[in-house]
Amino acid sequence: MGDFSLDLRAVEDHIEEEEDGEGSSRVELGRLDGTTPDEEWIETVESGAVLVLNVEGDVNELAAGFARDVKDAGGELVHFRGFLLVAPSGVRIDTDRLG
């Protein structure tokens, strides 16, 4: 049998991060109606959350202040049936079954 090493400290650090909420996934529901500052949406996505926003108005106008920042950071945005889904980098929104 070959030698291998296990860094238990690294494993403990990873577990502590997940227990603190960092590195854990969450979905946040909200309304996209122009009342929430764009910076707040950006911070939420940068923290790792997926946003599901009920669009109340023109999606292009309402998302203009944060969509480019999300995309530039590697995130994705999909408008679907009156909702805007916004995912951070590393989370793929699979639309294959729609078409």
pLDDT tens track for 42-84:
999 999 999 999 999 999 999 999 999 999 999 999 999 999 9
CA–CA gap between residue 78 and residue 22 (Å, rounded)? 25
pLDDT at 63: 98
* Percent of the chain whose pLDDT exceeds 70: 76
Spatial CB neighbours of 47, under 8 Å, sequence gap ≥ 6: 88
Range 62-91 burial, b when 16+ CB lie within 10 A, else e: bbeebbeebeeeebbbeeeeebbbbbbeeb
Does the pTM exceed 0.85?
A: no
pLDDT at 15: 57
CA–CA gap between residue 61 and residue 93 (Å, rounded)? 22
**Domains of the chain (ranges, CATH numbers):** 26-98 (3.30.110.150)
